[in-house]
Amino acid sequence: MNPTGKTKRGQALVEFALLVPIMLLLVLGIAEFGRAWMTENILTGAAREAVRAAAVETQANAYNSAKTIADAVLASAGIPLVMVPSDFDDSVNSPVPEVSVSITYNYSIVVTGFIPGLPASFPLTGTATMRRERY
């Protein structure tokens, strides 16, 4: 028996209705953050593989070799093929010749419709730099 004569029917239902959207937003945010982190790690791995291929290749074939490797790594991860920028530094005249590869991917957010003001996509970049091997 309730000493005050008032009933508390529906209290749990109201609390549940107030907390479920917050919990769903939190779970979806964690999942989306994990997906973005995984995508950035894949981009960094593809850039690392591409720069390694370009560092050991002759200077004339460095770009083609880097692009082929990067496209293969990205295709195996299910990311649409992205061109490795052709402006990476592959000069042999610098004191410490280095090869740098930067891969940019426009990451689309799945939960865009649930959060007002959230952009539909944003760029993620994977970058790697390595010293050129001497022949």
88: closest CA among 48, 123, 129, 53?
Answer: 129
* 85-89, 91-95, 113-117: which is most confident: 113-117
For 37, the token pair is: 């982190």
CB atoms within 10 A of CB 84: 25
pLDDT score for 93: 56
The SS3 call for residue 59 is: helix
The yes-or-no verdict on residue 119 having pLDDT over 50 is: yes
Mean pLDDT of the chain: 81
For residue 131, name the pLDDT band (cuts at 50, 70, 90).
confident
Q: What is the pLDDT of residues 25-82, one digit of tens each?
A: 889 889 989 999 999 999 999 999 988 888 887 777 777 888 888 889 999 988 886 7
Of 77 and 7, the one with more pLDDT? 77
Strand partners, 98: 131
